[in-house]
Structure formats: structure tokens, C-alpha cells
A = this chain, B = another copy of it.
Amino acid sequence: MKININRQRLLKALNIVNVAIGQKSPDPIYINFKFVMNDEYLEITGSNGDLTICSKISIQDKNSENYNITSYEKGATLISSKYLIEIIRGLDSEFVTIEVIDDVIAQISDKQSNFKLNSMPIEEYPDLDLAIEGTTVTFKANELKKIIFQTAFAASNKEVRPVLTALNVKSFNNQMEFTATDSFRLSKKIFNIETTDFEVNIPVRTLNEVSKMLENSDVKMIVSQRKVVFEFDDTIIYSRLINGDFPKISRMIPDAYPYVLQVSAEMFSAAIARVSLLAIERENIVKLSITPDSLEISSKSDQIGSANETISTFRYAGERFDISFNVNYVLDAIKATQSDDVILSFAGEMSAFRITAPNDNSIIQIITPVRSYY
């Protein structure tokens, strides 16, 4: 294999593929990029066994018609990802040459620099299941990014119950739901889309990485029994699914809400964040006290002191009501609504409460309160 390739274009592909390698893997073979040059494109693959990313660089660039690769000899090799990426980033010429010598050395060079990295034949690389089959759903990049932004934060980051580190993606009767919960709070996005029925648990980590890579093009999500595939631009991402039953969340959501507050998202967020400054010892738990005439947020600590905020602009339907909650959960949920005003609907002091946006039924946030301390 020998290629003369545009350095920036190569670096972009390496950075994308490296996301799969950056994550821990038990098998040291996975520290390598797999390079395969054929007569149409260079394909670079990285994997940790669970997540695999392939990125193609065509000889002639599809958008600009410039040449990404100005000369080549077909071939393939495995190159250490860490050193290759640092070398390609550190060089400053427009084009670099990568040449495999005797199957055991990859030489990276330009006019001034010459690096020889130990390399390996691709026969050493594991066989990965890269078949693409199953139900295909197509999203606009911005739509999928928004869905992930609005839900993924509510998933658990603890591996104790692996299924809670996934987003549950369910399609039924052309309605699709993305749901995440860490069992203390829940975020659900609902929208209509034509597709066959399915239900899978996709690792949140995969979705967050996909979201970061998406630019403007459409993205295909292909769901099968054992894996999910995302396909966009010149990139294909393969991820295992998470086994196990996602919790039945309907029991967590109250039926009726006799206390309903509408308030500015920004003003309410700023007020609870300030009050929580004195609630650090209490895991950021503050108390909300509402009457038809007053909206007050407070916290109290014998050690430090007390904090009190009043908000004068709000709408409230209901009787006098008190509830205590973790400020971080409420801040996250308000941010995810992406709305100027938010509606907080309460069922009772010890029942889960709901946060929604006035003009958007697609996003629902549920948070469990905590017992008041004072």
C-alpha cells in the first residue's frame, strides 16, 4: 500500500474513527487503525469490539472535485492509532505519503519529516459483523441531534443496571419514542414517523458520539436484533445494543396534576441555581413554596446559613403547595425543553412531577422529589 493523501482530510477521518478506539477495549489489537486502499477509496476502520466506525476517503473529493488522494498503490495495513494521529496532526505540509514497507513498517513522510511506525498485516484484525440489514429510519442531522440533546442526559452513567445507560427507542404504529431514565428522573421524546414497529436499547454513549459527528446531511439509522447502524456522509457507525428489559415507566408518571405552575425558564433556573449555592451539603436540594400570590425558593443549613428567592412573575393554578427537589435534575430538564417558559405540573409533595413546554407536546420530563428537610 502506498498513498499520497491530503493531510487535513486524512486527519478528519482519523479523528472520527478514533472515537471507537478511544473507548476501553480488552484486546490490544483494537489500538490499531485498519487501512484498506482499493481503486475507489481509502477505508479506515477503528473498533473496540462493541463500537465500530468506518470512514471512507474517496480519491476525488465529492464536494470540491479536488483530489484527496493524488497517487496510490492498492493494499492494506494495521497502524497504531495513537502515534499515527499525533504524527498526522503534528505535520504541516498539505499532502503526506503513507507507504507500507515489507508488511511490518508504515512510513509516513513529507519533504522534511520521516516517521517509521511498526505495523501489522490486516489478517491479524478480528472479523467484525459489518452487515447492514434491518429497519431503516432516516433523520435530518439537526432533528436527531435535538432528540439526543433532549433525552440522553437523563440516562444513568453507572454500569450497575446496564439497561439504564441506554436510550430506549421504540416505534409502534408510526409513533416513535426515545426514552432515558436513571430511575430518579426521566426524559421522553415522542414524534410521528413512518416505519415498522421495533424496540431497542441503544447505548447513550454511542448516540452522544453520533450527535457530535453529525454535520448537515441526512443520517440513516438501521436497526436489527443485535446492532444499530448509523450511516451519514462517508461514515458508518456500528454499535451493539444493550440487552435487558427497559423499565416500564408508565407507573412512574402520575395521571392528574392539581398544581400547575408556568414560569420563565431563565428566571426560574437562575433562582434555583442561586439558592442551591447554600445547599451543597444537602446534595443541592431546595424547597419550592407556591401560593396563588407568591413563588418562593429556599434552602437552609445550620453550618452555612440560609437562602431565599422570590419570583413575582408567574402563573399558578392550585392551592398552597410545597415540594423539595434536586436542583440539578430540574435545571437539566428545563434546559432540555428548549422553551422560554416552562410548565411544572405537580401531583403531590411526594409524587413525581412533570416539566413540559407550553407549545411543544413532543418532550416530557419527569422528576421524583425528595422529602423536605425543614
Interface residues of A (CB under 8 A from B): 80, 83, 86-87, 90-92, 105, 112-118, 270-271, 273-274, 277-278, 303-312
Contacts and interface: CB of A to CB of B under 8 A. Distances in A.
Given A112-B309, A115-B278, A278-B115, A304 B91 contact: no
A35 to B, nearest CB: 16
B113 A304 contact: no
Contacts of A310: 112
A8 to B, nearest CB: 17
A117 B308 CA distance: 12
A90 B270 CA distance: 8
Given A87-B277, A112-B309, A304 B117 contact: yes
23 contacts: A83-B278, A83-B304, A83-B305, A86-B277, A87-B277, A90-B270, A90-B277, A92-B270, A105-B305, A112-B309, A112-B310, A113-B271, A114-B307, A114-B308, A115-B278, A115-B305, A115-B307, A115-B308, A116-B305, A116-B306, A117-B278, A117-B304, A117-B305
Contact of A308 (B113, B271, B278): B113
Nearest to A276: B90
A299 to B, nearest CB: 10
Contacts of A114: 307-309
